[in-house]
Amino acid sequence: MQISLIQATVRPRNPWESIDLGFRMVQYWWKPLCLLWLLCLFPIALIIYVPLYKDIVFAGWILWWLKPVFDRLLLHFLGRALFGEALTPWQLWKALPTLLTTTHLLRGLTLERIGIARSFRLPVWQLEQLDHYARSHRLQLLQQKTLNTAHWLTLACLSFEQVIYFSLFGLAYLMMPTTVDLEFKELVFGTTATAPVWVRICHATFGLIALSIAETLYVAGGFALYLNRRTHLEGWDIELAFRRLAERCQR
C-alpha cells in the first residue's frame, strides 16, 4: 500500500466513525461496485437458482455459504480504488483465479465462515499474505479495542439485510392487485414447490437485493475498521504529515 496515494483523509478515528468511512466508500464508488456485483453475483445466482427453482430455501443457503467468494472481489476492488487504482470489471474477473487460490478461500468457506468478525479479519487474510504464525499474532494485535465493534457490525448488517428482505415483501404485498387471493404470510413463506412460480421468483430476487446491499456495506465497514486500526498502530497520519513537510522544504 502506498499511503501517499490514499483517497481518504487519514487520521485516527473511533471504530464507529471508521465504519462510517467504509459506508462512505460505498456511496462514492457505488456505480462500479454495482456493475461488479451484477457481473459476478447474478451469473452465479442463476446457476444456483435455475436448477433448484423448486427449493428456493436450499438455493439461498448455497448462495449464503458462497458469500466469502464475493467478499474477496469487493475487497479487491475497494483496496485498489482507495489507493487510486480504479479497476474495470474485466480486470476483476482476471484477478478472480488468484483471489480464489491465494486468499485461503477454503478456510473462509469452512472455519472462518461463521466468524462473527469475518469482515474485519478478511483484509489480513487477503491483503497481508502472512504465514500462519505471523497471521495469528497480527490478528491478535489488530483485534485489540476493535473486535467488539466488528461483532456489532456483523449483527447490524445481518439485521439490515433482513429488514430490506421483509420490507420488499411488504412493498410487493401493497402493490399486488386485489384480484390476487394471497395472504401476506403465504407470500413471505411461500418457498415450497407448491407455491406459485412468481412467489418463488420474488423470494430469489428480494434475497439477492438484500444480500447485495448489506454485504457491500459489511465488507467496506470491516475494511475501514482494519485501516483505522493500522492508522492507530503505524501512525499513517504522522507519516503523511512528515511527507508533506518534506515536500514543502524541497520547494
117-152, pLDDT tens digit by residue?
Answer: 999 999 998 888 888 888 888 888 888 888 999 999
Per-residue pLDDT at 78: 92
74 lies in some domain = yes
With CA atoms as reference, report the closest residue to 69 among 213, 219, 208: 219
Whole-prediction pTM = 0.90
Question: Could you give the CA distance from residue 33 to residue 12 in angstroms, rounded to a whole number?
Answer: 26
Residue 150 neighbours by CB distance under 10 Å: 24
Question: Could you give the CA distance from residue 190 to residue 185 in angstroms, rounded to a whole number?
Answer: 8
Q: Is 104 left (phi over 0), alpha (psi -120 to 50) or beta?
A: left
Angle, vertex CA 103, rays to CA 29 and CA 232, nearest 5: 60
Stretch 61-70: mean pLDDT: 91
203 lies in some domain = yes
Q: Round to the nearest angstrom and report the end-to-end CA distance of the chain.
A: 26
3 lies in some domain = no
Residue 80 buriedness (CB in 10 A; 0-12 / 13-18 / 19+):
middle
248 lies in some domain = no
164 lies in some domain = yes
Instruction: Find the Cα–Cα–Cα–Cα dihedral 54, 58, 59, 62, rounded to 10°.
Output: -160
pLDDT tens per residue, range 150-194: 999 999 999 999 999 999 988 888 887 777 767 777 777 766 656
Q: Which domain holds residue 79?
A: 12-233
Query: Are the beta carbons of 28 and 163 closer than 8 angstroms?
Result: no
Give the three cell numbers for residue 12.
485516527
95 lies in some domain = yes
Per-residue pLDDT at 36: 84
Stretch 94-118: mean pLDDT: 85
238 lies in some domain = no
Treating both helix axes as pointing N-terminal to C-terminal, what angle do 56-65 and 67-81 enclose, rounded to 10 degrees? Answer: 40
Max Cα distance, the chain (Å): 77
Average pLDDT, the chain: 85
Give yes or no for residue 3 having a pLDDT over 90: no
Our count of domains for the chain comes to 1
